[in-house]
Amino acid sequence: MATSETGDRLPDTATEADLPDPALELAENRLSELRKIRRLMLCSFLLAAFTATYFARDVLLPIVLAILLTLTLRPLVRGLQRIGIPPGFSAVLLMLAIGLGFAIAGYFLSGPIGEMAARAPQIGSEVQSKLAGLMDRFASIQEVGKQVTEMADAAGATDGEEKVEVVVDQSGLIPEAVGSVASITSSLVAAMILTLFLLASGDFYHRRIVEASPKLHDKKRALTIVRDVEKQISRYLAAITMINAGLGLAIGVALWILGLPMPHVWGTLAFLLNFMPFIGAIIGTAAVGAFALVSFDSVPYALLAPLSYFALTTIEGNFVTPMLVGRRLELNIVSVFVTVAFWIWLWGVPGAVLAVPFLVVVKAICDNVPSLKAFGSFLSGDPAMRTDDQAAENGHRPEKRSTRPA
């Protein structure tokens, strides 16, 4: 044991000073265990939430759709309120306009779509016969299948057993389609009714959110988050709706020039399908291609219709949408693809429609919460573009970057 000049006892650095405090070590161990428990509880909560979301999709779908519609239309209702129109009256007008739009679209599309659905087996057989020359690679497989069938028939004949004929029953497809349309219609009606109530309530829920926050700083942040989410989602859906309308008009005109029957129907379907990223363009191109092969005698000329559809959707996705939607709303393509795939697996076609608006809401929340800004940056596009855009919004001129090599 070392002693100082005054005779005081000094700790041995090798044995006492470097030894951890037992109480501090115990506290660190407990803190580590609490972190593990918190992660485990978070994982359990997410798993339970995903499970509940999957099994309760029939109940949650109209609720989520109503919330998105409310966030989209809230700025418009607030603007009408500034000029003296009550929120309840403006909400009724908006819901009537949306309902009338759906009714008109359903009236004009029900006949042609029903006719095409009834002719689906015939269209499929005609498309297969038109593409018979392109399916020569499968001839050997079909020949093997035919030989196996003949051998099975011969074996059944020798054993004295009756041959079993396999028939594909398509009678259940139409009732299933009718049931799906009825389910979607009921969800839309429920969502519109709930949206009407939410819009008519004015800023009631805004006040409740602010009142639930304990501190003044938290109240301001909560109100800022809600207003920013409303602005972002309304701006995004308004821009996407206008872009899809222009795309539908362009596709309808292109197919009309090519002479494809019912170009207005295909233009309307293109407008609706483009709300589903990735899969909407694929479904539309395939449907137009199949119908064109049935409508035209020349296969090369028939392929011009799906090629035109695909070319216009490609131009829209790579040039028009990034230019009109804006850099601030630009999302990472990987995050969009993963989100769309996840919600398609979870909710099917409605999930594909709601995936990107849901991602916009999540990004707007992350941008206003300091602890989540890193995740919000991951969801965004090019950070350099985002910096320039934010500087322009703040009234500052972005710093020019030299394009010359160093």
Structure tokens at 62: 């109209």
Whole-angstrom distance, CA of residue 130 vs CA of residue 249: 29
Structural contact between residues 364 and 221, judged by C-beta atoms closer than 8 angstroms: no
By percentage, how much of the chain surpasses pLDDT 70? 75
Distant-in-sequence, close-in-space partners of 379: CB < 8 Å, separation ≥ 6: 331, 332, 335, 359, 362, 363, 366
- Return the residue matching tokens 């000029």: 83
Structure tokens at 94: 């908006």
9 sits in which H/E element? strand 9-10
Q: How many CB atoms lie within 10 A of CB 255?
A: 26
Q: Is the pLDDT of residue 165 over 50?
A: no
Three-state DSSP class for residue 401? coil
Q: Where are the beta strands (DSSP E) in 221-375?
A: none
Report pLDDT for 283: 92
Report pLDDT for 32: 81
Whole-angstrom distance, CA of residue 52 vs CA of residue 357: 21
CA 13 from chain centre, in angstroms, equals 62
Query: Per this entry, what is the length of the chain?
Result: 406
Q: Is the pLDDT of residue 21 over 90?
A: no
Q: 9 has which bridge partners?
A: 3
pLDDT band at 313 (very low <50, low <70, confident <90, very high): very high
- Return the residue matching tokens 């099994």: 55
77 sits in which H/E element? helix 57-82
Mean of pLDDT values over 44-56 = 85
Q: Is the pLDDT of residue 285 over 70?
A: yes
Q: Which tops the pLDDT comparison, 360 or 325?
A: 360
pTM: 0.72
The alpha carbons of the chain give a radius of gyration, in whole angstroms, of: 31
pLDDT band at 34 (very low <50, low <70, confident <90, very high): confident
- Return the residue matching tokens 């909400």: 91
Report pLDDT for 284: 93
Distances (CA, A) of 226 to 7, 75, 222, 280: 68, 11, 6, 30
Q: Which amino acid is at 77?
A: V
User: How many CA atoms lie less than 13 Å away from 11 in the CB half-sphere?
Assistant: 7
Quick: pLDDT tens for 327-337: 556 788 888 88
Residue 2 main-chain phi, psi, to 5 deg = -85, 150
Q: Is the pLDDT of residue 81 over 50?
A: yes
DSSP 319: I
Report pLDDT for 140: 55
Report pLDDT for 392: 47
Quick: pLDDT tens for 110-141: 777 777 777 777 777 777 776 666 565 555 55
Q: How many CB atoms lie within 10 A of CB 119?
A: 13
Q: Is the pLDDT of residue 359 over 60?
A: yes
Three-state DSSP class for residue 372? helix
End-to-end Cα, the chain, rounded Å = 63
Structural contact between residues 37 and 30, judged by C-beta atoms closer than 8 angstroms: no
Residue 342 main-chain phi, psi, to 5 deg = -65, -45
> What rounded mean pLDDT belongs to the chain?
78
Distant-in-sequence, close-in-space partners of 178: CB < 8 Å, separation ≥ 6: none
**Strand 2-3 with 9-10, pairing:** antiparallel
Structure tokens at 29: 């161990």
Whole-angstrom distance, CA of residue 279 vs CA of residue 369: 32
Quick: pLDDT tens for 194-227: 999 999 887 777 778 777 777 777 788 888 888 8
